[in-house]
A and B are shown apart, each in its own frame.
Chain A
Amino acid sequence: MAFLRERVPLQIEVFEQLAKEPIPVHMKRWWYALGGTPLICFCILLATGICLTFYYIPEPKQAYRSVQYITERVYFGWYIRSMHKWAGNLMIIAVLLHLFRVFFTGAYRRPRELNWMVGCGLLFTILGFGFTGYALVFDQLSYWAAQVGTGLAAKTPLVGEFFRRFMLGGEVVGEGTLARFFVFHVGVWPSVFSALLGIHIFLFRGLGIADLGAKTLSPGEARDHDAMLKSGRYFPFFPNHAMTELVVALAILIVLTELSIVFPAQLGPPADPLNTPAHIQPEWYFFFQFQLLKMFPEHLALGLQLVMVVIMVFWPFIDGWMLRRWNRAWLSPCFGMAGLAVFLGLTVKEALHGYVLFHDWWPKLTGSLL
């Protein structure tokens, strides 16, 4: 190792410091260890996604065929693809749960407002992943989801037309669209995600995990790892927490594998630009938006969404202002519950709409949750 020490201009001790990072003791509880789930899912998505790009061809006539090839012919192709699908779903669920957790524990408060905004950015990136990834299969649902999505973007005032042509890469959903969605899914969003994730980790490592029930440490105190560990209210990241996370990772792999076996990723009928299928629905995480579009005229719906996004992104500051103004602890959770209720309500409404109207919710559940 003297070999490395001479050539790599880093002090090993720095790694030691990082490895033994003190973690607040409440993190020993398994419940708290689930926070690593999005990262685990992301690693799975990255690995399976790279594997999928070995065989996927982003051209309208080839896309469906290549996905079929993966699912039916390539060894373990069905497994890689199903893992990719389920990890994606789990990712979004985990991120949403993480968002709610952070919200209701007030972990976005000063000095962590910026981290909240970065987190929102991560959420939108992930939704972008979901939207572009789903369209790549190029079956009926993919095609028409892309059609609707780009159509919606076109309705944005002023920049709508630009968005539409930018997303379509042509006049209609076609080879340009597929190429762009592929670039976004495989190049742009991963890069953006990695960058934002880096910032996110940097911020929460630097600022420390929001410590429930304990006083916030000053930066000076936060650097005195030994004292923290000795105090008994902290424990080292490596190997203790690392082991916990390892178990969680393996458990997630097992659960996802079981899901992949029991509900493998399916393929709907190939995209037919001349035929809109009877039941068209986006992915479940867009149900909320879909319902909004059904309930309100487009511009109003767009406007509402924009307002909701702004409120969500700038929430720490809004919350800070509310606290200063009224200083009621229950205000923020109330807003949160209201927001959650609306989101869940509209999502469930859309899901039921699909069920009630078409009575084939089971295949749709397993088919459309790509």
Chain B
Amino acid sequence: MSETPANPVPVHDDLKWKKVLVAIAAILFFATMVSIGFIEMWRLKPREKSALAYTPADSASCVECHQRLTPGIVSDWMLSRHSEKGVGCMSCHQAESNEPDAYEHYGSVVATVVSPSDCNKCHAQIGHEFQISHHSKAAQFIGSLDNFLGEFIEGRQAAVSGCMQCHGSAVSVTKVFADNTEFTQDTGQLLERTKTALSQAGAQGLEAKVRELTSGAAGLGQRLLAAKALPSDKAVLQVMNAQDYASDTQREDNAKRIFYGLLLAKGQELARADLKQAGAEGKLAKKVKFDSDGWPNTGIGRINPDLSNGSCTACHSRHKFQVSMAREPESCGKCHLGPDHPQYEVYNESKHGIAFRANRERMNLEAHPWVVGKDYNVAPTCATCHMGASRGQPSTHDVGKRISWTLRPAISEKLEHWEAKRSAMQEVCSTCHAKQQVDNFYRQYDGVVTLYNEKFAKPGRDIINALARTGAITPSPAQMAVPGVAEAVKMLGEKGLNPNPFDDEVEWTWYLLWHHEGRRARHGASMMAPDYTQWHGMFEVAHRFYFELVPQTRKLLEERVHEGRITEAQRAEVLKVIDGVLARTDHAWLKGLSPDQKREQMKFYKDRYNQ
């Protein structure tokens, strides 16, 4: 064939080029495969181990439903360590039908409030430490000045949303049964009744519980049962012998533990009796209603329906229960802040706080264990010093274990066993600070507290007590034990006046002096915050003392004499107290000081307060 086509297309040449093209395309394709491979490697770069949440079988239906209804709760829980370890909803919320807040819920019996008794099932040691600590008693300040202030002077609602949200409420709960009958437990009253029962009948009827609680100390059980009245843990302590436990602290701790156990058991007994009386024993509630005065509440001393004290959620927020959150100063700062105890502000001002904020990412806050000096070094948080594990101590939830001064009352005092407690705290300090620094710091601290005590607090108290003794003011309940006040009260009663802690202006002045400014100064000194020690603290203490307390007292005395409520002699009595105070060396500046006198004063201060 030899026709020449119209368009001779070179067939085979372009085949070669096509092959080259195929090769190029194949290279490009290979390159994209490689890039896919790289993308995959980058995507699957090992991130921090994302723990899987394991839902135990009994909680599967809870999660399924609540994931739609309250997804925040479920996602919180899935981020928690509980879910990593298979601790699910029913592990904490399972309840028996007789429990005061138990109800039937889609085939299970649950209780909304998870009290420390529930947490203690697994976290027994922590629970014990918390129960013997001051935190657990935070809600039991009925009858205190603060309580009066909140509930009566301000108003109940202020107490509910203010005081009680930190201190804790009493959670009262009403069970509603299928037949629409109800049963209400007033938890606050139940607590009082329980305490009364223990005060009147001791541990009668609680033999099994006593045996369980005193299993480590032979003979103590019988002695407890023999005791007629057990109104408090002090009473339990009195029943103890030296042989019962190894040391004073152990005895005290165990006394608290035993008393608390008896309280719970007695409370349960009384609650059960109440149920029986109402014909509701063994009946399963279909739902519960919480008194809004008591719930929601995560106050650290909350009195739960089962009479247990406290709310672990206060620091370890549900449902993540992150330990890192509890270690943050903000957790403590929810309550430990403000004009009357600015620990959070003090910490923030201090170098400890500054170091913390500057080195936050090196704090290793999620670590287990979390030992200062080993797992982190850069800065302490509140938890570090007051609770945390150090090289020589395990961690504790008894927040008072390392506190030597109590800065709460008008006059600060050293606590029982303060030397041991101070040593414990100093052991933590020594992680970063040398001995002399620590010792000298404590001298400075003691100096401020003593200065405040001696120069302003005790004199102020003397003045106020003098006013109460003479009847110039209506005394507060705290003053009833002061000699002479009882007669004054009688005398006032004849005039139709009752004891009242806050009806006189000078009482407020005194309150502000010690409860607000005095505390600020002491807290500032305790944690190295100069501004709180000085300008928010002692400066205001001094001002309040010299230019409000003293003048107001003088003026009040004049008025009272004028009214005829007190005699001239009584007025003179009080004035003598004031003059006596102002005559002291440390108040002598009022009269003006010469250079010599100034030098003398400096020496005086150093000797007197630099202990």
Which residues of B lie under 8 Å from residue A75 when comparing CB positions? 40, 44
B5, B18, B19, B35 interface centre (most CB from chain A within 10 Å): B18
A261 within 8 A of B: yes
Which residues of B lie under 8 Å from residue A258 when comparing CB positions? 32
* Additional 19 contacts, C-beta under 8 A, given A75-B44, A231-B5, A244-B18: A25-B7, A28-B14, A75-B40, A76-B36, A76-B40, A230-B3, A232-B7, A235-B11, A240-B14, A240-B15, A243-B15, A243-B21, A246-B25, A247-B18, A253-B32, A257-B29, A257-B32, A257-B33, A261-B36
A254 within 8 A of B: yes
Query: From residue A256, how far is it (CB to closest CB) to chain B in Å?
Result: 9
24 pairs, CB–CB < 8 Å, chain A vs chain B: A25-B9, A75-B40, A78-B43, A230-B3, A231-B3, A231-B5, A232-B6, A232-B7, A233-B5, A239-B15, A240-B11, A240-B18, A243-B18, A247-B18, A247-B21, A247-B25, A250-B22, A250-B26, A250-B28, A254-B25, A254-B29, A257-B32, A258-B32, A261-B36
B1 within 8 A of A: yes
A317 within 8 A of B: no
C-alpha spacing A202/B5, complex, angstroms = 30
Which residues of B lie under 8 Å from residue A28 when comparing CB positions? 9, 14
Query: From residue B523, how far is it (CB to closest CB) to chain A in Å?
Result: 51
Minimum CB distance partner of A250 in chain B? B25
Which residues of B lie under 8 Å from residue A257 when comparing CB positions? 29, 32-33, 36
A79, A230, A232, A258 interface centre (most CB from chain B within 10 Å): A232
**Which of A78, A233, A251 contacts B25, CB < 8 Å?**
A251
C-alpha spacing A28/B7, complex, angstroms = 13
Minimum CB distance partner of B2 in chain A? A230
Which residues of A lie under 8 Å from residue B33 when comparing CB positions? 257
**Which of B29, B39, B43 contacts A253, CB < 8 Å?**
B29
Contact with B along A246-266 (1 / 0, CB 8 A): 110011011001100100000
C-alpha spacing A270/B341, complex, angstroms = 50
Minimum CB distance partner of A240 in chain B? B15
B279 within 8 A of A: no
Query: From residue A269, how far is it (CB to closest CB) to chain B in Å?
Result: 12
C-alpha spacing A296/B33, complex, angstroms = 48
Which residues of B lie under 8 Å from residue A250 when comparing CB positions? 22, 25-26, 28-29
B8 within 8 A of A: yes
C-alpha spacing A239/B25, complex, angstroms = 17
Q: Which 10 pairs show the lowest CB-CB distances between chains A and B?
A: A232-B5, A250-B25, A243-B18, A257-B32, A250-B29, A247-B25, A247-B21, A235-B11, A230-B1, A246-B22
Query: From residue A293, how far is it (CB to closest CB) to chain B in Å?
Result: 32
Interface size on B, residues (CB 8 A): 26
Contact with A along B551-576 (1 / 0, CB 8 A): 00000000000000000000000000
Query: From residue A143, how far is it (CB to closest CB) to chain B in Å?
Result: 16
Query: From residue B67, how far is it (CB to closest CB) to chain A in Å?
Result: 11
Q: Is there contact, CB below 8 Å, between B15 and A232?
A: no
Contact with A along B530-553 (1 / 0, CB 8 A): 000000000000000000000000
Beyond A79-B36, A243-B15, A247-B18, is A232–B25 a contact (Cβ under 8 Å)?
no
Interface size on A, residues (CB 8 A): 25
Contact with A along B242-278 (1 / 0, CB 8 A): 0000000000000000000000000000000000000
Query: From residue A100, how far is it (CB to closest CB) to chain B in Å?
Result: 27
Which residues of A lie under 8 Å from residue B19 when comparing CB positions? 243
Which residues of A lie under 8 Å from residue B1 when comparing CB positions? 230
Query: From residue B60, how far is it (CB to closest CB) to chain A in Å?
Result: 13
Contact with A along B30-59 (1 / 0, CB 8 A): 001101100110011000000000000000
Query: From residue A159, how far is it (CB to closest CB) to chain B in Å?
Result: 38
Contact with A along B446-460 (1 / 0, CB 8 A): 000000000000000
C-alpha spacing A114/B470, complex, angstroms = 120
C-alpha spacing A79/B33, complex, angstroms = 10
Contact with A along B392-414 (1 / 0, CB 8 A): 00000000000000000000000
C-alpha spacing A174/B293, complex, angstroms = 47
Q: Which of A282-341 contact B (CB under 8 A)?
A: none
C-alpha spacing A210/B504, complex, angstroms = 111
C-alpha spacing A79/B44, complex, angstroms = 14
C-alpha spacing A185/B32, complex, angstroms = 29
Q: Is there contact, CB below 8 Å, between A247 and B22?
A: yes
Query: From residue A229, how far is it (CB to closest CB) to chain B in Å?
Result: 9
**Interface residue ranges, A against B (CB under 8 Å):** 25, 28, 75-76, 78-79, 230-233, 235-236, 239-240, 243-244, 246-247, 250-251, 253-254, 257-258, 261
Query: From residue A158, how far is it (CB to closest CB) to chain B in Å?
Result: 41
Query: From residue A8, how far is it (CB to closest CB) to chain B in Å?
Result: 29
Query: From residue B391, how far is it (CB to closest CB) to chain A in Å?
Result: 43
Minimum CB distance partner of A229 in chain B? B11
Query: From residue A245, how far is it (CB to closest CB) to chain B in Å?
Result: 10
Minimum CB distance partner of A73 in chain B? B44
C-alpha spacing A241/B14, complex, angstroms = 11
Beyond A76-B36, A231-B5, is A254–B28 a contact (Cβ under 8 Å)?
yes
Contact with A along B146-167 (1 / 0, CB 8 A): 0000000000000000000000
Q: Is there contact, CB below 8 Å, between B22 and A232?
A: no
Which residues of B lie under 8 Å from residue A240 when comparing CB positions? 11, 14-15, 18
Minimum CB distance partner of B29 in chain A? A250
Which residues of A lie under 8 Å from residue B26 when comparing CB positions? 250
C-alpha spacing A247/B19, complex, angstroms = 9
Minimum CB distance partner of B26 in chain A? A250
Query: From residue B253, how far is it (CB to closest CB) to chain A in Å?
Result: 51
Q: Is there contact, CB below 8 Å, between A261 and B22?
A: no
Q: Which of B93-133 contact A (CB under 8 A)?
A: none
Which residues of A lie under 8 Å from residue B6 when comparing CB positions? 232
Query: From residue A209, how far is it (CB to closest CB) to chain B in Å?
Result: 16
C-alpha spacing A25/B19, complex, angstroms = 18
Query: From residue B527, how far is it (CB to closest CB) to chain A in Å?
Result: 48
Query: From residue B109, how far is it (CB to closest CB) to chain A in Å?
Result: 28
C-alpha spacing A34/B9, complex, angstroms = 20
Which residues of B lie under 8 Å from residue A235 when comparing CB positions? 9, 11
Query: From residue A27, how far is it (CB to closest CB) to chain B in Å?
Result: 11
C-alpha spacing A322/B33, complex, angstroms = 52
Query: From residue A274, how far is it (CB to closest CB) to chain B in Å?
Result: 10
Which residues of A lie under 8 Å from residue B3 when comparing CB positions? 230-231
Which residues of A lie under 8 Å from residue B8 when comparing CB positions? 232
Which residues of B lie under 8 Å from residue A253 when comparing CB positions? 29, 32
C-alpha spacing A233/B7, complex, angstroms = 8
C-alpha spacing A253/B11, complex, angstroms = 27
C-alpha spacing A326/B1, complex, angstroms = 44
C-alpha spacing A251/B26, complex, angstroms = 9
C-alpha spacing A231/B35, complex, angstroms = 46
Which residues of B lie under 8 Å from residue A254 when comparing CB positions? 25, 28-29, 32
Q: Is there contact, CB below 8 Å, between B9 and A232?
A: yes
Query: From residue A234, how far is it (CB to closest CB) to chain B in Å?
Result: 10
C-alpha spacing A76/B19, complex, angstroms = 30
Minimum CB distance partner of B11 in chain A? A235
Minimum CB distance partner of B18 in chain A? A243
C-alpha spacing A354/B141, complex, angstroms = 64
C-alpha spacing A74/B213, complex, angstroms = 55
Minimum CB distance partner of A257 in chain B? B32
C-alpha spacing A239/B40, complex, angstroms = 36
C-alpha spacing A75/B28, complex, angstroms = 22
C-alpha spacing A125/B548, complex, angstroms = 94
Minimum CB distance partner of B28 in chain A? A254
C-alpha spacing A257/B32, complex, angstroms = 7
B1, B8, B32, B44 interface centre (most CB from chain A within 10 Å): B32
Which residues of A lie under 8 Å from residue B25 when comparing CB positions? 246-247, 250-251, 254
Which residues of B lie under 8 Å from residue A233 when comparing CB positions? 5, 7
C-alpha spacing A55/B454, complex, angstroms = 79
Which residues of A lie under 8 Å from residue B40 when comparing CB positions? 75-76, 79
Which residues of A lie under 8 Å from residue B9 when comparing CB positions? 25, 28, 232, 235
Which residues of B lie under 8 Å from residue A246 when comparing CB positions? 22, 25
Minimum CB distance partner of B64 in chain A? A61
Query: From residue B27, how far is it (CB to closest CB) to chain A in Å?
Result: 9
Which residues of A lie under 8 Å from residue B5 when comparing CB positions? 231-233
